[in-house]
Amino acid sequence: MKIKILKDYNELSYTVADIVEEQIKREPISRFILPTGSTPHGLYKELVSRELDWGAVMTYNLDVYIMNPNHSQSYQTFMKENLFNKINIYPTNCQFPDRNVQSYEQRLKGIPADLCILGIGTNGHIAFNEPGSSFDSETRVVDLNEQTIEDNSRFFDSVDDVPKQAITMGLKTIMKSKKIVLIANGVHKYKILNVAMNGGITEKVPASILQKHNNVEVFYCD
Ligand code: GLP
């Protein structure tokens, strides 16, 4: 699978913003699956600056930590601060997984998302589908693995403050999206990205499932 190598983080951000903009302009009633993490920061900043009409857009976040949604490091707070509070989207159109996992799954089952944007963890996870997750998985509560807790501790005062559990969209659910864009930034991501896109398709590397999707674009910058 081809990994498109972009010049820098700016190019990564505006390339994906172009895809989002084109989708919203083509179909104002669009459904997006959105990521958190450090990689999409630039994308969200770029989207805010474009002043698009989000009035009929529905968004579904990939995952949340099991923690107070008002905490400064919750994914709900991240999305509000970086995107939702800065665009004209209806708060009720911004959905996050919650403990009622069946309900979240149903909302996504009826109509597939037009576009799903993903980051990738250094262990090959997408959303919080850790290595070993079933390719048939749906929205569920998961335990985070050691590597993920370690990687995400940079956002918290100490590694002990990182939540140990999350609610994540499943791999099967992600794969139902009409189009998927995977973004990765930094040399520390290149090895796993290459294994996931060009190695064997295995549940040991959750992102490798994307090789089975017929409309995926993968963007990387150093
Ligand atoms: C986090 C999130 C993922 C994200 C990944 C990469 O744990 N659950 O959805 O894609 O890790 O994050 P970052 O962009 O900060 O490297």
Strand intervals (E) in 35-172: 58-61, 63-65, 94-95, 115-118, 140-143, 165-168
Kindly report, residue by residue over 11-27, the tens digit of the pLDDT: 999 999 999 999 999 99
Question: Residue 97: beta bridge partners?
Answer: none
Neighbours of 177 (CB within 10 A): 24
Query: Which residues are CB-contacts of 146 (< 8 A; sequence separation ≥ 6)?
Result: none
pLDDT at 1 over 90: no
pLDDT in tens, 160-216: 999 999 999 999 999 999 999 999 999 999 999 999 999 999 999 999 999 999 999
Best mutation site among 74, 118, 152 for ligand 1, i.e. most ligand atoms within 8 A of its Cβ?
Answer: 152
Q: What is the mean pLDDT of residues 133-142?
A: 98
pLDDT at residue 110 tops 90:
no
Catalytically active residues are 63, 123, 125, 130
pLDDT at 111: 87
Ligand 1: atom nearest CA of 37 is: 15
| Ligand 1, atom 11: closest residue by C-alpha | 121
- Residue 206 CA to residue 152 CA, distance in Å, equals 18
* Residue of the CA atom closest to atom 10 of ligand 1: 119
Q: What is the pLDDT of residues 74-99, one digit of tens each?
A: 999 999 999 999 999 999 999 999 99
Nearest to 217 by CA among 1, 61, 45, 54: 1
Residue whose pair of structure tokens reads 């998927």 in the numeric block:
180
H or E element in which residue 220 lies: strand 216-221
Average pLDDT, the chain: 97
Distance 119 CA to ligand 1 centre (A): 6
> In whole angstroms, what is the distance from residue 207 CA to residue 196 CA?
6
Locus of tokens 């998961």: 142
Which atom number of ligand 1 is nearest to the Cα of residue 39? Answer: 14
